Amino acid sequence: MRILLVGAGGVGDAFAKIAARRTFFDSIVVSDFDITRAERTIAWIEDRHGAQGDRFIAAQIDASDPDIVAGVARQYGITHVMNAVEPKFVPTIFAGALAAGADYIDMAMSLSEPHPTDPHNQTGVKLGDDQFAQAADWETSGRLALVGMGVEPGLSDVFARFAADHLFSEIDELGTRDGANLVVRDEAGNEIFAPSFSIWTTIEECLNPPVVWEKDRGWFTTAPFSEPEIFDFPEGIGPVECVNVEHEEVLLMPRWVNAKRVTFKYGLGDEFIGILKTLHQLGLDSTVPVRVRSSAEGGGVGGGPVMVAPRDVVAAGLPDPATLGPRMTGKTCAGLWVTGTGIDGSPREVYLYHVSDNEWTMAEYNTQCVVWQTALNPVIALELLAQGAWTGVGVLGPEAFDATPFLNLMALSESQGGYGQRWGTEDRLAVTTDLVENEL
294 pLDDT band (50/70/90 cuts)?
low
Per-residue pLDDT at 432 exceeds 50: no
> Whole-angstrom Cα distance, residue 129 to residue 87?
13
Per-residue pLDDT at 190 exceeds 70: yes
The domain ranges of the chain are 2-105, 155-283+318-370+413-436
> In the prediction, which pLDDT does 437 show?
46
> pTM here?
0.89
Condensed to tens digits (0 to 9), the pLDDT of residues 37-77 reads 999 999 999 999 999 999 999 999 999 999 999 999 999 99
Per-residue pLDDT at 302 exceeds 70: no
> In the prediction, which pLDDT does 361 show?
96
Q: Which residues contact 105 (CB under 8 A, 6 or more apart)?
A: 80, 81, 82, 83, 145, 146, 147, 149, 378, 381, 382
> Whole-angstrom Cα distance, residue 349 to residue 343?
12
| Percent of the chain scoring above 90 in pLDDT | 76
> In the prediction, which pLDDT does 431 show?
46
313 pLDDT band (50/70/90 cuts)?
confident
Q: What is the dihedral of CA 113, 119, 120, 122, to 10 degrees?
A: -90
Condensed to tens digits (0 to 9), the pLDDT of residues 126-149 reads 999 999 999 999 999 999 999 999
439 pLDDT band (50/70/90 cuts)?
very low
Condensed to tens digits (0 to 9), the pLDDT of residues 81-120 reads 999 999 999 999 999 999 999 999 999 999 999 999 999 9
Q: Which fold has domain 155-283+318-370+413-436?
A: Dihydrodipicolinate Reductase; domain 2 (3.30.360)
Condensed to tens digits (0 to 9), the pLDDT of residues 257-286 reads 999 999 999 987 777 778 888 888 888 888
Class of 2-105 in CATH: alpha beta
199 pLDDT band (50/70/90 cuts)?
confident
Condensed to tens digits (0 to 9), the pLDDT of residues 377-391 reads 999 999 999 999 999
CA nearest to 89, candidates 197, 200, 13, 14: 200
